[in-house]
């Protein structure tokens, strides 16, 4: 996963926190850039994230451990969509999300000079789902209407985006990529949302270009071929898993 915050989440029945913790210690020993990375465990959903604190601070536009929600900074956030019977735009961001991001930044600052161990969070789905979207740098973040909600986006027309890294044959073999490509991220957004005037900049053509520019730059900075494509389809499902 190519993301500002590093890694896609891993969901397991028995959280291997010791394994991930040991991996991070070893990476810190080998690569100084990992000194700003922390391990985050969301206990209820059993998800883990490697979070780059320096990049997180940049994305939040911070010089301290607070998170701004000013409308002028809206571009720093994903597009929040509350999953009611009719999906609706949500602004400002969920209050608990801002608090959690501030807590993570403070956690990193307090242990900046030493290995910190995992930051453990306990969040219900109304907070955990949008947090995951933010950490993985998704342009769209779903927000369940309640922690008890189990059915999402049934029979709703969705714009689905699949972002793919597809280098040349030699590079794909060197990176051991299955089918010569790697799916960087895949996400959806209710098609009707894009017709709203305030999110016109997130129409399918503009969003595709923005994603291409963002990840193309990251690939070039990493010394990899700028071979990035976005597949866009419209789909309808009985339900969507978050």
Using the structure block, give the residue that is written with the tokens 């810190």: 28
Across 21-44, average pLDDT: 88
Q: Does the bond joining 180 to the residue before it have cis omega, within 30 degrees of 0?
A: no
Same domain, yes or no: 50 and 131: yes
Tally of structural domains, the chain:
2
Residue 3 covered by a domain: no
> In 56-67, which positions are buried (b, 16+ CB within 10 angstroms) versus exposed (e)?
bbebbebeebeb
138 contact partners, CB below 8 Å, separation of at least 6: 78, 185, 187
Same domain, yes or no: 74 and 174: no
Q: Mind listing the pLDDT tens digit for each residue in 130-154?
A: 999 999 989 899 999 999 988 899 9
What is the per-residue pLDDT for 30?
A: 92
Report yes or no: 165 and 135 within 8 Å, Cβ to Cβ.
no
What is the per-residue pLDDT for 186?
A: 93
Last-in-domain residue among 101, 120, 144: 144
Phi then psi for residue 16, to 5 deg, are: -85, 55
Same domain, yes or no: 202 and 131: no
Same domain, yes or no: 117 and 207: no
Same domain, yes or no: 139 and 169: no
**What distance in Å separates the CA atoms of residue 77 and residue 134, rounded to the nearest whole number?**
7
Same domain, yes or no: 138 and 190: no
Q: Report which listed range, 55-59, 68-72, 235-239, is most confident.
A: 235-239
Same domain, yes or no: 130 and 182: no
Other CB atoms within 10 Å distance of the CB of residue 163: 20
What is the per-residue pLDDT for 199?
A: 60
Last-in-domain residue among 144, 172, 194: 144
Same domain, yes or no: 34 and 136: yes
Same domain, yes or no: 119 and 20: yes
Same domain, yes or no: 128 and 196: no
Last-in-domain residue among 78, 112, 144: 144
Q: Mind listing the pLDDT tens digit for each residue in 14-28?
A: 446 788 888 888 888
Residue 196 covered by a domain: yes
Residue 204 covered by a domain: yes
Of all residues in the chain, the percent with pLDDT exceeding 70 is 74
Task: Count the residues in the chain.
Answer: 242
Q: Mind listing the pLDDT tens digit for each residue in 169-191?
A: 556 566 666 677 788 899 999 98
Residue 183 covered by a domain: yes
Residue 95 covered by a domain: yes
**What distance in Å separates the CA atoms of residue 160 and residue 228, rounded to the nearest whole number?**
16
Across 77-82, average pLDDT: 89
Average pLDDT, the chain: 79
Same domain, yes or no: 34 and 110: yes
Strands (E) located in the chain: 10-11, 37-42, 47-52, 79-83, 88-89, 119-121, 140-144, 158-165, 182-190, 228-235
> Structural domain of residue 43, as residue ranges?
10-144
Whether residue 114 is predicted with pLDDT greater than 70 in this model: the reply is: no
């Amino acid at each position: 996963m190519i993301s500002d915050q590093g890694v896609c989440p891993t969901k397991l029945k028995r959280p291997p926190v010791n394994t991930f913790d040991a991996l991070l210690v070893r990476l810190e020993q080998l690569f100084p850039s990992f000194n700003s990375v922390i391990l985050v465990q969301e206990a209820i959903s059993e998800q883990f994230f490697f979070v780059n604190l320096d990049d997180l601070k940049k994305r939040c536009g911070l010089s301290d451990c607070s998170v701004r929600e000013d409308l002028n900074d809206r571009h720093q956030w994903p597009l929040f969509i509350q999953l009611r019977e009719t999906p609706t735009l949500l602004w400002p961001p969920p209050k608990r999300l801002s608090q959690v991001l501030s807590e993570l930044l403070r956690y990193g600052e307090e242990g900046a000079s030493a290995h910190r161990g995992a930051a453990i969070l306990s969040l219900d789905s109304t907070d955990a789902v949008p947090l995951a979207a933010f950490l993985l740098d998704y342009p769209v973040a779903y927000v369940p209407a309640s922690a008890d909600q189990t059915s999402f986006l049934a029979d709703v027309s969705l714009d689905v985006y699949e972002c793919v890294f597809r280098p040349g044959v030699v590079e794909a073999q060197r990176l051991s990529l299955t089918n010569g490509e790697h799916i960087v991220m895949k996400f959806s957004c209710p098609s009707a949302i894009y017709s709203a005037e305030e999110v016109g900049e997130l129409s399918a053509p503009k969003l595709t270009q923005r994603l291409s520019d963002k990840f193309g730059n990251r690939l070039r900075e990493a010394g990899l071929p700028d071979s990035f494509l976005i597949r866009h389809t419209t789909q309808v499902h009985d339900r969507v898993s978050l």
